[in-house]
Amino acid sequence: MNHRISLQPGNHQFDAEAGQTVLEAALGAGLLLPHSCRDGACGACKGKVLEGEVVHGPHSEGALPEAERAEGYALFCCAQPVSDLVIEARNVSRADDIPVRKLPCRVQRLQRLADDVMLIDLKLPASEAFKFRAGQYIDILLADGARRSFSIANAPHDAGHLELHVRRIDGGRFTHHVFEAMKEKEILRFEGPLGSFWLREDSARPIVMVAGGTGFAPIKGLIEHALHIGLQRPITLYWGARDRAGLYLDALTRDWEGRLPGFRYIPVLSDEKPDDAWTGRRGLVHQAVLDDFADLSTHEIYACGAPAMIDAARSSFVASRSLPEDAFFADAFTFAQPTN
């Protein structure tokens, strides 16, 4: 049974088929609701159900606390309508300005950035223009229909190729192939661009970026885009890793300090090794932001990494540093189960 969904503001209307989430139905109707992980982890798709009822699939408690559910909030990526709905969502745009496409690509370069991080450089078809926004991601389409999501680590002005940063996952079928068997010239298929994690260029707020591990990949795309357009807003980047090797493009990041006005880079290690000879910041990366900023009420946050880091950053920045909820943009990295 279909359910009619009315979206405010804008008075958009569309139908959700049985089994569809609100987000799936909106995207199918050409409406781009804010979203990123599509797994109930990042909270980017949070909105309010003004009328009607939904049922929620599995999701992170940090992305949607019980108190917010009681107030009518929902994660549209995992909420299925059980009646007609009137919903409220922020920053809605038309999805047809940059269409989602399925395309082939060719592996043109493999570079080991760290023992457990591989850079895959994908050559796009010369005859097919692929548009995306810095910070978005693609799904690699496997032969059996499974998908693996990876953020795009380059900026759209350099769009003849896509750069991915792939971390080895124990038991991960695709990442095992990447590290043990993938060869240059291998053909892959992907779908994209996906997600709503991109730079809000119409804002004048100073920016704080928080990356955990390979969550640096979309942040790299954002900063390269900022360099390309000559962005003048101050940017402070906190990059957290376990050890020095986890800061796998540290030299590049330090180079940005001399090229982008108002840019600061603060690396943070949580479990450095004795031979790292580390004299920089230590601890959890979101805590470093809390230590440095007493007030985030006039800032924007762009955070990418594990769901636990995203949850901790969102809750602490909003509750104790006065960050507006709508100034927190996140991409939470979740991993497919090894059996998939």
Whole-number Å distance between alpha carbons of 175 and 257: 32
Decide if 173 contacts 340 (C-beta within 8 A).
Answer: yes
Position 150 scores a pLDDT of 95
For 246, the 3-state DSSP assignment is helix
DSSP alpha helix (H) spans, the chain: 22-28, 66-70, 173-180, 216-229, 250-256, 285-292, 307-321
Q: How many CB atoms lie within 10 A of CB 320?
A: 12
Position 249 scores a pLDDT of 98
For residue 214, give both structure tokens: 């390979």
Boundary residue ending a domain (62, 95, 128): 95
pLDDT digits (tens, 9 = 90+) for 214-229: 999 999 999 999 999 9
Residues of the chain with pLDDT under 50: 337-340
Decide if 155 contacts 228 (C-beta within 8 A).
Answer: yes
Q: Is the dihedral of CA 121, 126, 128, 134 positive or negative?
A: positive
Residues 81 and 123 in one domain: no
Decide if 72 contacts 49 (C-beta within 8 A).
Answer: yes
In a domain, 199, yes or no: no
For 19, the 3-state DSSP assignment is coil
- Closest Cα to residue 136, out of 108, 173, 95? 95
Tell me which H or E stretch contains 232.
none
Boundary residue ending a domain (171, 194, 217): 194
Decide if 44 contacts 137 (C-beta within 8 A).
Answer: no
What is the reported pTM? Answer: 0.82
Position 11 scores a pLDDT of 77
Residues 35 and 135 in one domain: no
Position 149 scores a pLDDT of 92
Position 337 scores a pLDDT of 45
Position 93 scores a pLDDT of 65
Residues 186 and 282 in one domain: no
Residue range(s) defining the domain that contains residue 171: 98-194
Domain count, the chain: 3
For 5, the 3-state DSSP assignment is strand
Position 340 scores a pLDDT of 40
Residues 67 and 111 in one domain: no
